[in-house]
Amino acid sequence: MPVEHEIHFRDSAAKALLDPQLRANFRRAMDGLMSKRLAQFPDPRDLQDLRDLSTAIRSRSLLNLPELLEQFEANCTRNGIQVHWAETCMEANELILGLLQSKGAKTLVKGKSMVSEEMHLNDFLEKHGIEALESDLGEYIIQLDGETPSHIIMPAIHKNKDQIARQFSQKIKDAKYTEDVDELTAMARKVLRQKFLDADAGLSGVNFAVAETGTLCLVENEGNGRMSTHVPPLHIAVMGLEKVVARLEDVAPLYAILTRSATGQAVSTYFNLITGPRGEGEKDGPQEVHLVILDNGRSRIYADPQLRATLRCIRCGACMNHCPVYTRVGGHAYEAVYPGPLGKILTPQMEGVGARHDLIHGSSLCGACAEVCPVEIPIPEILVRLRREATHEDAGSNVAGKGTGRTFSEDWAWRLWAMVHKRPSVYRLATWFATRFGKALPAGAPLIKDWTRSRSKPVPAPRSLSERMRAEGGPHV
Amino acid sequence: MSDARTAILGRLRAVGETGPLPALDTAVLERRQWPATERMARLRKGMEAVHAEFLEATPGTWPTVVRAFCEREGLRNLLFGPTSEAGSALAAAWGSGGTQLMPYDRPVEAFKEELFTDVDAGFTGTVGGVAETGGLLLTPGPAEPRLLSLVPPIHIALLRASTIQDSFWSAVKDLGWGRKLPPNALLISGPSKTADIEQTLAYGVHGPKRLIVVLVDDVH
């Protein structure tokens, strides 16, 4: 769902850079996450071997995607998990609303799910009179303030404990003001346990979907994912169609590299494998489990052999934690569900490369993201490809919004550039003028004002290189 | 929504030949192997690092060890699965007075409120452990319901050292989970925790505040 107002990453990033509290909160968190990740990979050979294996597993999954999805669906169905397919976020929202309404459900507790953020499910359900309550502590914190996640793993990382303390004392009934993290956590526990107990339905995402067994795997530390999926009588899971993996044993290395890359943990507190609703003789667990498989542009991304690598992502967030841009501006500046380097390649492919032109250019292409990516997604290469797609309408391309990022001034600048460089006499004349009068050009002149916004004006040499070569007797150029 | 299904799968199929499958080199996983006694020590170290607590026991003494812990902590009751192997052994050795053994023998709907507010601890068996990272493997089901290890504030789990596997990868293969899985299977490495407030670790956010592993040494 595209953002309604005009989006300028450059402006929102500039604003974020001026917020010292935000920058301090991110700096501290990202430094912590980077060093914890590094501590999990003491042996560079082990790390590279595990990355290669994980990349191969995800690549194989994608190469067999339609077959694996069918096998997965058949096994889920056999296990009693009811599978639904949705082409768009709106279809997925309608499906979930229909399921909830058919059970007369009024309250939904949610485990963390980025796909549900992609769908803007909470807003949609609220409009239809169903309370959708986030139960992951970070998600709960931001939901209290009506905010969106600023990080895909640590959604409330932009806030410090003083801000959370103030917020809890104002918004939670009978809560006293405290900055003690254990006490703040205990307050949320008290509120949310009652919600788990009372909820009519629970919703979760899916970290890995296993084709051979028809299993939904959930990775978490808090236990809210287990609460949301096992306590209410109805469990609805949502997943992007790329999440499927052939075998359960393939999930083990992906899980190992996911938690290490994400939060620097060797293992999460819980790894929850759900293969069906309450079975014969079972005394608890949901009576029904439904799964919604969402496309939302993924099959379009899949069609392109280079861009398909985007779908290898296991959503660890390491690219964000290591990105020199993200660590300084935080997640909200991107005005996208998925921020950071992953968001810069995924969001434009979902919402259109022209519409999110700002994101694909908001990168120095330093490559830190690709260096830490556990499944070796060549993010900088994909960014460069998308930059081309934004301004070209290549016949073979399938990219959403291709060519729509072309602007009159950029177009005109490149035409002029090509004209000058194709004609030696014009080129010589242009460089003669540039070297003699370039200094006199005001910093705010068109074309160079974008450069001088945050840098000093370049000073041209008094003579061009070819002039000097001629004057100093070098070979003719 | 079969239309959506047909359309999505159709688009994925339209891509056609997608190239050869890359090989899977699992050497990095195979390197993770330790002798039985070392597996026990590794598991314990990994789990203690995330605040799991250990009680040492032998095949003959473990019910007494569980009972002594409950008395020491002043627990009013202990919820357990009366038909599981571990549960029935515990009940046989329990005796009267002190901490009440409470069987989880009816559908949760019959006592949901009580389960959330009046139960002090839950007891389960395990089907194995993971040495590499630390962790317990559980397959909740009719004998040991899913919420037994989740809702009570203390989870006491019985682990036999001989069932500790090298890694999660080797456990999945050894237990044959890829062929058949019960409706729920779990890896648990410690008590419930969060770092969502300023990356400060806090334990007991939604699930158990304490995880007590009764480690039965049957390998020495």
**Per-residue tokens: B169:** 């990868």
DSSP designation for A378? -
Q: Is residue B72 part of a domain?
A: yes
The pLDDT of residue A3 is 41
Do A197 and B116 make contact, defined as CB atoms within 8 angstroms?
yes
pLDDT at A466: 85
Q: What is the pLDDT of residues B18-52, one digit of tens each?
A: 778 999 999 999 999 999 999 999 999 999 999 99
Q: Determine which helix (DSSP H) or strand (DSSP E) holds B121, and give its type and residue range.
A: strand B121-124
Strands (E), A184-323: 201-204, 208-210, 215-220, 234-240, 244-245, 270-274, 288-294
Closest-CA distance, B130 to chain A, in angstroms, reads 10
Q: Helices A181-198 and A161-171 sit at what angle, rounded to 10 degrees?
A: 40
Residues of B numbered 112-151 whose beta carbons fall under 8 angstroms of chain A's beta carbons: which are they? Answer: 112-113, 116, 130, 132-135, 141-142, 145-147, 150-151
Q: Does residue B87 fall inside a structural domain? A: yes
- With respect to residue B60, please indicate whether it lies within any of the assigned structural domains: yes
Four-residue CA torsion sign, A123, A128, A131, A133? negative
Does B25 fall in a domain? no
> For A229-269, how does the pLDDT look when each residue is reduced to its tens digit (9 = 90+)?
999 999 999 999 999 999 999 999 999 999 999 999 999 99
3-state secondary structure of A16: helix
Helix (H) or strand (E) holding B216: strand B210-216
Please give the distance of CA A457 from its chain centroid, rounded to a whole number: 35
Mean pLDDT of B91-111: 95
What are the chain B neighbours of A65 within 8 Å (beta carbons)? 12
Is the sign of the CA dihedral A327, A332, A338, A339 positive or negative?
A: negative
Domain that holds residue B96: 32-216
CA distances from A368 to A154, A220, A319, A321, A340 (A): 20, 26, 7, 10, 12
Edge-to-edge, what's the strand order for the sheet holding B77-80? B53-57, B210-216, B154-160, B121-124, B77-80, B100-103
A295 touches chain B (CB under 8 A): yes
Indicate whether B3 belongs to any domain: no
In eight-state DSSP terms, residue B179 is T
- What pLDDT does A477 receive? 55
Confidence of residue B193 (pLDDT cuts 50, 70, 90): very high
Please list, in sequence order, all residues whose beta carbon lies within 8 angstroms of the beta carbon of residue A416, skipping any fewer than 6 positions away: none
Span B82-90, mean pLDDT? 97
Q: B158 and B125 in contact (C-beta within 8 Å)?
A: yes
Quote the number of domains for chain B: 1
Amino acid identity of A341?
P
Cβ distance of A223 and B150 shorter than 8 Å: yes
Residue B1 has pLDDT above 80, yes or no: no
CATH assignment at residue B77: 3.40.50.10420
Residue B202 resides in a domain: yes
Residue whose entry in the numeric block shows the structure tokens 């296990």: A79
Angle at CA of residue A157, ends A152 and A162, nearest 5°: 155
Q: For chain A, list residues with pLDDT below 70.
A: 1-6, 476-477
Q: Which residues of B touch A62 (CB under 8 A)?
A: 18
| Residues of chain B with C-beta less than 8 angstroms from the C-beta of A256 | 133, 168-169
Contact A322, A148 (CB under 8 A): no
Domain-embedded: residue B9: no
Q: In this predicted structure, what is the pLDDT of residue A476?
A: 65
Contact A278, B183 (CB under 8 A): yes
Q: A141-179: buried (b, 16+ CB within 10 Å) or exposed (e) per residue?
A: bbbbeeebbbbbbbbbbbbbbebbbebbeeeeeebeeee
B141: distance to nearest CA of chain A, Å? 6
CB contacts under 8 A, A 375-394 vs B, are none
pLDDT of residue A6: 58
The answer for B 174-193 residues in CB contact with A (under 8 A) is 177-193
CA–centroid distance for A134 within its chain: 19
Contact A197 B25 (CB under 8 A): no
Minimal Cβ distance to A271: which of B18, B178, B186: B186
Q: Most B CBs within 10 Å: which of A157, A210, A221, A280, as the mutation test of the B interface? A: A221
The verdict on residue B24 lying in a domain is: no
Put simply, whether A85 touches B (Cβ < 8 Å) is: yes
